[in-house]
Amino acid sequence: MPGKLSFKDVGMSFRLYRERVDTLKEAVLGRFRHRKSYEDFWALRHVSFEVRPGESVGLIGHNGSGKSTLLKVAAGVLRPTEGTARVEGRISPMIELAAGFDPDLTGRDNIFLNGALMGHSRKEMARKLDRIVEFSELGEFIDQPVKNYSSGMYARLGFAIAADVDPEILIIDEVLAVGDERFQAKCMERIRSIRQGGCTIFYVSHTMGSVTELCDRVIVLHHGQLVFDGAPEPAIARYRELQGFHPPPEARTA
């Protein structure tokens, strides 16, 4: 059964601590300023949307617009400060490189660890192991501690696991960006087939071509607010307009 997601008026704030910047001179002159030593920063505010079973939804926005934060709330890694985020179904998050990996364990052991986190028994994971290792193309590195991996190697393993644990909702963050071109193409192929299998997909990317290709619908975040939710083309146009970006005609869908 494909899963679904529902966000109602979700807000996520972080407390940003400031260092006091009063200089000695200011102190001597008695010009103390009483500043707050922290402020609350809303990375997401009033975000509401639904992802229905089997839908493939894209999430785009400028750097720092709140995409990863939204995915972390969806995956239950962060609890929203306001509102409610509901997830129905087994979610397979590929959020940030190395999330969910224990750096001291080998790639192989991390496959079992991630499988367990997803509710799979050791026996089930042992059945999937060869396929995951083969897809990751890590070769003998699979028996090295993952702290020795490059970012591309992390991404390969992360993707290979997430794509093979029979998710009901597959969350894909920008991880593909660090893989080399050939591996990216292989991942896209796998995502297409997972999508055809009816899995619900939530896809974050800065590569508009892949968003257009993979997504039925696209959500645009801008400074933590949801500013558009609709068809891919107008969503991308809105995103570019907000950035004041006008691509040359030949790059419009790239």
Ligand X SMILES: Nc1ncnc2c1ncn2[C@@H]1O[C@H](COP(=O)(O)OP(=O)(O)OP(=O)(O)O)[C@@H](O)[C@H]1O
Q: Residue 68, interface with ligand X (CB under 6 A)?
A: yes
Q: Residue 186, interface with ligand X (CB under 6 A)?
A: no
Q: Residue 158, interface with ligand X (CB under 6 A)?
A: no
Among 3, 66, 107, 232, binds ligand X (CB under 6 A): 66
Provide the b/e sequence for 4-15 (b: ≥16 CB within 10 Å).
bbbbeebbbbee
Q: Tell me how far apart the alpha carbons of residues 81 and 7 are, in angstroms, rounded to a whole number.
A: 13
Q: Residue 37, interface with ligand X (CB under 6 A)?
A: no
Phi, psi angle pair for 64, to nearest 5°: 85, 10
Pick from 113, 115, 166, 161: which is nearest to 134 by CA?
161
Q: Residue 61, interface with ligand X (CB under 6 A)?
A: yes
Helix ranges (H only) for the chain are: 24-28, 67-74, 107-117, 122-136, 151-162, 181-196, 208-214, 232-243
Stretch that binds ligand X, among 60-68, 109-117, 211-219, 226-234 (CB under 6 A): 60-68
Pick from 233, 178, 227, 172: which is nearest to 203 by CA?
172
Among 22, 64, 104, 198, binds ligand X (CB under 6 A): 64
Stretch that binds ligand X, among 66-74, 80-88, 126-134, 161-169 (CB under 6 A): 66-74
Instruction: Between 44 and 111, name the residue whose CB sits nearer to ligand X.
Output: 44
Q: Residue 49, interface with ligand X (CB under 6 A)?
A: no
Pick from 144, 203, 149: which is nearest to 176 by CA?
203
Stretch that binds ligand X, among 64-72, 101-109, 150-158, 179-187 (CB under 6 A): 64-72
Among 45, 55, 60, 69, binds ligand X (CB under 6 A): 69
Q: Residue 247, interface with ligand X (CB under 6 A)?
A: no
- The tokens of 66 are what? 């709140």
> Binding residues for ligand X, per CB under 6 A?
14, 16, 41, 43, 61, 63-69
